[in-house]
Structure 1
């Protein structure tokens, strides 16, 4: 029983710290003209701001593609730069603003070759 109670407390602390991080990101990335990722409509021009959680190289159809997961506390979107193996400054943990149209691929929200600005 004591092991379960300790596990519950640990999970509870972890969940509350993740919620606090999400709230902090939402406050930090609230900016005029920027749409929260969770509210961003598909197939319309959007301007998003957040933190890159992961950055990976995943070839698509024999073409190099740099993929990054953008998170702002309200949701995530996969940002993909086709034909790129690396972009200076695009690293996990980096703040970034992107502009483009969100699409869907295999049920995931994606943004191809967006305009971007490092924060």
Structure 2
């Protein structure tokens, strides 16, 4: 069997036997790295970053005095919480969307967080 065919069958077998979430995380990490974005696992508090990943969840906290949108961003390595302060809804910001974000990494309760990140919606294909 040719080396290219063996590689194809190895990848196919891996896709059929590995955990779907693990494969998705690995694929996200690879596409993030290929885009030149920084991986979330390599970021620390105070870093100015550009990251590419997918929104896992989006919650709107619509208390009158505290309008915020919080989203869990995942690039295949570490989750990062994104918070848009003073917003009740942002068009296109919904679970499953792929986004490129820019901002400064902070920390809240031991987790990475980015407040009011600049974002670009990306093709999900």
TM-score (norm 2): 0.77
Instruction: State yes or no: 1:108 paired with 2:111.
Output: yes
1:61-113 C-alpha deviation (Å, 9 max, x unpaired): 92200000000110110000000000000010000011111111122211000
CA distance in 1, matches of 2:92, 2:60: 15
- 1:6-85 pair list within 5 angstroms: 16-30=19-33, 31-32=35-36, 34-59=37-62, 62-85=65-88
Moved over 4 A (4+): none
Number of corresponding residues: 106
Shift of 1:19: 1.4
Unaligned runs of 5+ in 2: 1-15
Q: d(CA) in 2 for partners of 1:79 and 1:14?
A: 33
Residue 117 of structure 1: how far off its partner (Å): 0.7
- 1:60 CA drift (Å): 7.3
Alpha-carbon RMSD: 2.0
TM-score of the superposed pair, with normalisation by structure 1: 0.81
The runs of 5 or more residues in structure 1 that have no matched partner are 1-12
Aligned to 2:46, the other structure's residue is in SS state coil
